[in-house]
Amino acid sequence: MLTAIWETEGLQTVGIVVLVCASIKLLHLLGLINFSEDSVEDELELSAVRHRPEGLEQLEAQTRFSRKELQILYRGFKNECPSGVVNEDTFKDIYAQFFPQGDASTYAHFLFNAFDTDHNGSVSFEDFVMGLSILLRGTVQEKLNWAFNLYDINKDGYITKEEMLDIMKAIYDMMGKCTYPVLKEETPRQHVEIFFQKMDKNKDGVVTIDEFIDCCQNDENIMRSMHLFENVI
């Protein structure tokens, strides 16, 4: 499957698919999902979870998760993160475990910054579940907005060629030996040049959110990737 992804024409597809896969890896590590036929919904365990009702109700209104799903997510999050927050080092440790054949530290850094919406150096349960709601069940527009925010490293509202290159290099480094054929050192820059030209329609040297969304919506591979993981939990 990874080979097929790498051979698609849309380089953006790689970034978006890996982004969603990465969120699923995090869920799996926290014990929130598994890939067997057993259900994760255990009423006895759920009954032991304690929430502030107003907080749970607010998250239920703000996300596309049900109350029971939020309880499951919260239980796993608190079990693995008793402090109630995840820091960047934790993200890096998680992806180092799941991508031992490569170096996932830079991609984990970028992904952490995308989840850390208030930029305080930690990801709370609220940050985590809001991001997952978009990635797994958001509309195409919401998912693309989230992906744009990942690429927009300095959060100035534009994606530059260097920002796109930084993300792509981080993805290539993380995938490591999973790519076939093995990529040449200049490959990421060559691909970014091609697709940046495609996205930068007015040729002003930056990609706006409108240009990014318009280009992605007209790419069949990207649109297909938007719906791959909607029923994970």
Higher pLDDT, 61 or 50: 61
Within 10 angstroms of residue 229's Cβ, the number of other Cβ atoms is: 17
- In the chain the beta strands, taken as DSSP E runs, fall at 85-86, 123-124, 159-160, 206-207
The pLDDT of residue 55 is above 60? yes
The pLDDT of residue 202 is above 90? yes
Output the CA–CA distances (angstroms, integers) from residue 174 to 13, 18, 19, 73, 131, in the order listed. Answer: 16, 10, 12, 26, 21
Within 10 angstroms of residue 74's Cβ, the number of other Cβ atoms is: 22
CA distance 113 to 136: 18
104-156 pLDDT tens trace: 899 889 989 988 988 899 988 888 889 888 888 889 899 899 889 989 999 99
Q: What is the 3-state secondary structure (H, E, C) of 82-145?
A: CCCEECHHHHHHHHHHHCCCCCCHHHHHHHHHHHCCCCCCCEEHHHHHHHHHHHHHCCHHHHHH
Q: Do 72 and 46 meet the contact criterion of CB atoms below 8 Å apart?
A: yes
At 77, the amino acid letter reads: F
Residue 79 is encoded by which pair of tokens?
């079990």
For domain 10-29+55-232, the CATH superfamily is EF-hand (1.10.238.10)
pLDDT at 177: 56
Output the CA–CA distances (angstroms, integers) from residue 170 to 79, 149, 212, in the order listed. Answer: 30, 16, 20
DSSP, collapsed to helix, strand or coil, labels residue 32 as: coil
Higher pLDDT, 128 or 226: 128
- Mean pLDDT over the full length of the chain: 75
Higher pLDDT, 22 or 17: 22
Overall pTM surpassing 0.95 (yes/no) = no
Confidence band for 49, pLDDT divided at 50, 70 and 90: very low
CA distance 171 to 15: 7
In terms of Cα–Cα distance, which of 167, 171, 170, 164 is closest to 207?
164
170-200 pLDDT tens trace: 888 887 755 545 556 677 788 788 888 889 9
Handedness of CA 114, 17, 79, 128 (dihedral sign): positive
DSSP, collapsed to helix, strand or coil, labels residue 79 as: helix
Higher pLDDT, 151 or 73: 151
Confidence band for 229, pLDDT divided at 50, 70 and 90: low
pLDDT at 52: 45
Q: Give the DSSP letter string of 46-70.
A: HHT----HHHHHHHHHHSS--HHHH
88-113 pLDDT tens trace: 998 888 778 777 888 989 988 998 99
Output the CA–CA distances (angstroms, integers) from residue 54 to 67, 114, 120, in the order listed. Answer: 12, 26, 23
